[in-house]
Structure 1
């Protein structure tokens, strides 16, 4: 499954693997939200609410598409967050890993807090 994420200054696509959270997100698309940033991470609320899955991770690779169950949000890290150690991508808490961005995750640097953000099927 592929999704497209759009904001005023850019867009990217991501490939998602089959997980219960991915299925719930897919069924809710398209969604519109408002971007937030936390260090080098973009996150935004969704209408999806799911439990934390086995295998949830707190430290992930840049460009990971994660679902933050504590905030019903998609989390898109592209670099260190305020709680990272040694440059890692450390999320606020363990998140369900859904997949990865298809291109360079640094495109997320153009997302500004408060930007409208849309996720749709690609």
Structure 2
């Protein structure tokens, strides 16, 4: 008897958890001077570009209660771009190809907010407290590597 004529057995539905194959979390170590911060990348095009460019090496610069540093990564503004920041979130300053990490108000912040220089792409979230970055002096070495 041909097998294509046999009644088909219903297959049990697979759970949504079984359907989605989750990739392992992408984590980086950001070292600035003597300070090390762990961060987890988000699911964005900017995060993909930063991840592909690792390791990154640069020099820290300060701007109020934030550090930023130049990268060879180039990307356009995306849907995550924002002007108001939250300490612990890590941004990409599109116009200057810089990574920006805020730990408090910047020179253009208004009371009760942390304001970025322009809309910046959110690409990662720190897993550690970012306030120790206040001890990073301009000119100190910065690296971003795979954790």
| Between structures 1 and 2, the one with greater strand share | 1
| 1:65 counterpart (87, 90, 106) | 90
1:1-122 correspondence to structure 2 within 5 Å: 1-122=26-147
| Between structures 1 and 2, the one with greater helix share | 2
Unaligned runs of at least 5 residues, structure 1: none
TM-score for the superposition, normalised by structure 2 = 0.80
CA root-mean-square deviation:
0.9
SS where residue 96 of structure 2 aligns? coil
Unaligned runs of at least 5 residues, structure 2: 1-25
How many residues align? The count is 122
Q: Distance in 2 between matches of 1:87 and 1:43?
A: 21
TM-score for the superposition, normalised by structure 1 = 0.96
